[in-house]
Homo-oligomer: A and B are copies of this chain.
């Protein structure tokens, strides 16, 4: 299989991530061959136009001779999808996923995979608000973190499998990090799950007021709201599953958020400008850390994007 990590990989679930992996392998390598399958007939038909000749009619055709199977489905169906393909997985296969919740992904895949498969849960911190096979593109994983949460398996074979999977993702441009699944779920609850829940919620609140305000919420959305609608455009099925499967960490983080918000609410009601000033000022520190770490640019998109902001004299 030359320099590639894998001879053949199979992708189950052809949405933004599944099709992006196929595009990325074509551009950067990592596998000699990629086959894809999706449970939805319509998605398979659309995917055939995006990656011609690579979409199979059955899951079995995709996974039978694969060295690595990547499940790109919502977290909620990982158990049933693993059970579906399990009889056709070859010995020594690597079984991984791209789901946003890793503790549940690990148990659902492990419980349904054959013992001769190496289950290595994974999560690319990459994506857009777009959905579907047409949304995929080769550079999605460039410079993005890819988190692997290996099981408690210290056999030589398993560790070698983790190394191979890590090499694969690096070929696609990702930076790979390994951590405990529970820790992953706690960190992502604040960096990703809560932000999405809040975005969905504020858009929902606005939706109910929209009928009162005659389209003005949309018209004046440049004042900050627009950025939330972008996040809230993400795939509903995926996010429903995230919140249902990372329940404890999300509820804990949400509890802290609500306490903090109640404190700000109280400061507004009582005209406590000092408290507002203190909280707003320290928020800038985290932004600076993100800029300093090179994780976002400070220069981008003047003109196109804008927040509402007049200025300090």
Which residues of A come within 8 Å of B, CB atoms?
A: 12-18, 38-40, 43, 72-77, 81, 98-100, 123-132, 137, 139-140, 142, 144-145, 147, 186-188, 190-210, 213, 216-241, 243-244, 247, 250-251, 253-254, 256-258, 260-261, 264-265, 268-269, 271, 273, 276-277, 279-287, 289-290, 293, 295-298, 300-313
Contacts and interface: CB of A to CB of B under 8 A. Distances in A.
Contact of A311 (B131, B210, B253, B258): B131
Nearest to A282: B207
Contacts of A283: 199-200, 203-204, 207, 229, 232-233, 236
Given A191-B216, A201-B264, A238-B310, 13 more contacts: A18-B311, A100-B309, A137-B303, A192-B223, A204-B260, A204-B279, A226-B296, A232-B280, A238-B311, A239-B280, A240-B280, A244-B273, A250-B268
B236 A290 contact: no
29 contacts: A13-B311, A40-B313, A73-B310, A74-B310, A98-B310, A125-B306, A125-B308, A126-B308, A127-B308, A127-B310, A129-B309, A137-B302, A145-B219, A187-B216, A190-B205, A191-B223, A195-B225, A196-B308, A200-B283, A204-B260, A208-B260, A221-B296, A232-B283, A234-B307, A236-B276, A241-B273, A247-B271, A254-B268, A301-B301
A41 to B, nearest CB: 12
Nearest to A137: B302
Contacts of A247: 268-269, 271
Given A202-B194, A261-B201, A223 B125 contact: yes
Contacts of A223: 100, 125, 188, 191-192, 195
B231 A280 contact: no
Count the copies.
Answer: 2
A15 B310 CA distance: 8
B225 A244 contact: no
A231 B307 contact: yes
A240 B287 CA distance: 18
A311 B242 CA distance: 11
A218 B239 CA distance: 22
Contacts of A222: 125-126, 144-145, 295
A202 B298 CA distance: 20
A257 B40 CA distance: 36
A226 B76 CA distance: 26
Contact of A73 (B196, B258, B293, B313): B313
A203 B40 CA distance: 39
